[in-house]
């Protein structure tokens, strides 16, 4: 597990009408601040990678489909420097992944229909706060398959 990444079980309430998926509360132990919430839709086999936030904590939950989230730690002083972590998220495997700043991350839809990844970030999006790389950039030692 990459240092600083938190995986928190989330409450899911199912009944004969559907489901309620809890994600984040302002009294949750990993809540820091509210920047924005958005939903990223990924088509089957689509790859959305790589990006790194300089200041933002990301809080990911998959609310539809199946996502493989991949993290890469290249922080100079980290005890998990150069480690890769793969996490499978879905409504059947429902939890929140909190990713601290300076961790490269990306994801792919490994299901057969569209997947939706929700993010409740601590800072509103800004082009100056994010760094992007191609999914196939050799800097990150990961092969999308």
Q: Is the dihedral of CA 4, 7, 8, 12 positive or negative?
A: positive
- The tens digit of pLDDT for each residue in 64-121 reads 999 999 999 999 999 999 999 999 999 999 999 999 999 999 999 999 999 999 999 9
pLDDT of residue 39: 98
Position 134 confidence tier, pLDDT thresholds 50, 70, 90? very high
pTM more than 0.85: yes
CA dist., res. 31 & res. 8, Å (int):
11
CA dist., res. 107 & res. 125, Å (int):
18
CA dist., res. 16 & res. 34, Å (int):
33
- Tokens linked to 52: 């790194």
């Amino acid at each position: 597990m990459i240092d600083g990444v938190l995986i928190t079980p989330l409450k899911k309430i199912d009944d004969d009408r559907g489901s309620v998926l809890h994600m984040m509360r302002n009294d949750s132990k990993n809540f820091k601040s509210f920047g924005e919430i958005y939903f990223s839709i990924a088509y089957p086999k689509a790859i959305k990678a790589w990006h790194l936030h300089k200041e933002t904590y990301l809080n990911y939950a998959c609310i539809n489909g199946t996502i493989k989230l991949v993290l890469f730690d290249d922080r100079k002083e980290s005890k998990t420097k150069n480690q890769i972590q793969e996490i499978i998220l879905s409504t059947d495997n429902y939890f929140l992944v909190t990713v601290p700043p300076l961790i490269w991350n990306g994801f792919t839809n490994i299901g057969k229909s569209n997947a939706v990844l929700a993010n409740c970030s601590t800072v509103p999006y800004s082009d100056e706060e994010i760094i992007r790389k191609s999914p196939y950039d050799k800097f990150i030692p990961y092969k999308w398959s």
